[in-house]
């Protein structure tokens, strides 16, 4: 069976309908329909029922899901094995959510590169839903993200509390949130907590869903926003940013997700080095929170 057909079928399940699946696969809706039709012809059974409310699996479609997942995962494992560069014995594919890439992910990779000289690496970036999808399909071996989903064959552990604090390039900026405040979208939990903490606040003029990638923009334009405490430690030390006294902090924990069948020695090394990086990040976070509490 064509792996592309299995991937398209799994994408329709994840997206909920053909339209969203086409968007996520960057193909036309008709192309998705043709692939699913071909899959159904090969199986001799319909796999989806299309209704006004969306797309649902038929009994045959539900039965085929685990086989499709296995098919895609075995294919990815085969690709990993044959793509190991000469001179290396194994390959580890690491994923990181975009806003975790420049900090935790790359520091983690740097330690792993030293720890595992016989291992080749590949780094992937994406949003949490994409990373989970790649984990399920076997594209990734291990990944760090903010909001994971527990799926069969995957293990999830929290590695960091990840408190968010409000910072500003202006030392006199207050928690009243004027036009210089940029709303950083750190996910549904943060949005709800932010709304509860600032119930009378109008919708900010500007909102970003770019995470840590916007930190230098905030510094250079003298704006204010919420960022992980661990990321702003150095900026506070140099005076480029200042904590906004009176503004609450919010929890935004970081998790690691890994394949349960990942080679035990690779898994142990990866988790040990990640926890070492997380410990340093947590120390920086606690320093910032103590400074915030001191006012």
Interval 41-50: pLDDT, tens: 999 999 998 8
- Domains of the chain plus CATH, in order, are 3-73 (1.10.10.10), 83-160+253-283 (3.40.190.10), 164-248 (3.40.190.10)
Q: How many helices (H) and strands (E) does the chain have?
A: 10, 12
pLDDT at 70: 81
pLDDT at 148: 93
CB-hemisphere CA count at 13 Å for 14?
A: 23
Q: What tokens appear for 100 in the block? A: 């975790």
Tens digits of per-residue pLDDT, 15-55? Answer: 888 988 898 888 999 999 999 999 999 999 999 988 777 78
What is the rounded CA–CA span in Å between residue 107 and residue 231? Answer: 13
User: Could you give phi then psi for residue 5, rounded to 5 degrees?
Assistant: -65, -45
pLDDT over 90 at 220, yes or no: yes
pTM for the model stands at 0.76
pLDDT over 70 at 1, yes or no: no
Tens digits of per-residue pLDDT, 103-124? Answer: 899 999 999 999 999 999 999 9
């Amino acid at each position: 069976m064509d792996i592309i057909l299995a991937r398209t079928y799994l994408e329709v399940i994840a997206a909920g309908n053909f339209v969203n699946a086409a968007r996520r696969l960057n193909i036309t809706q008709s192309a998705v329909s043709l692939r699913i039709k071909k899959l159904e012809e090969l199986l001799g059974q319909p796999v989806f029922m299309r209704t006004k409310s969306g797309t649902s699996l038929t009994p045959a479609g539900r039965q085929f899901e685990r086989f499709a997942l296995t098919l895609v995962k075995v294919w990815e494992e085969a690709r990993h094995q044959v793509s190991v560069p000469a001179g290396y014995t194994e390959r580890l594919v690491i994923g990181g959510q975009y806003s975790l890439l420049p900090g935790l992910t790359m520091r983690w990779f740097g330690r792993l590169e030293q720890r595992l000289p016989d291992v080749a690496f590949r780094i992937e970036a994406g949003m949490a839903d994409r990373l989970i999808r790649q984990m399920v399909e076997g594209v990734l071996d291990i990944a760090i993200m903010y909001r994971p989903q527990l799926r069969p064959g995957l293990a999830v552990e929290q590695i960091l509390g990840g408190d968010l604090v409000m910072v500003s390039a202006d030392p006199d900026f207050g928690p009243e949130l004027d036009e210089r405040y940029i709303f950083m979208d750190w996910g549904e939990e943060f949005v709800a907590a932010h709304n509860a903490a600032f119930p009378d606040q109008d919708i900010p003029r500007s909102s970003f869903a770019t995470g840590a990638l916007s930190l230098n923009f905030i510094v250079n334009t003298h704006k204010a926003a919420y960022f992980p405490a661990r990321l702003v430690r150095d900026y506070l030390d140099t005076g480029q940013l200042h904590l906004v006294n009176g503004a609450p902090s919010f929890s935004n924990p970081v998790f690691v997700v890994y394949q349960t069948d990942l080679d035990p020695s690779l898994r142990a090394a990866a988790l040990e080095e990640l926890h070492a990086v997380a410990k340093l990040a947590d120390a920086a976070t606690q320093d910032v929170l103590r400074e915030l509490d001191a006012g």
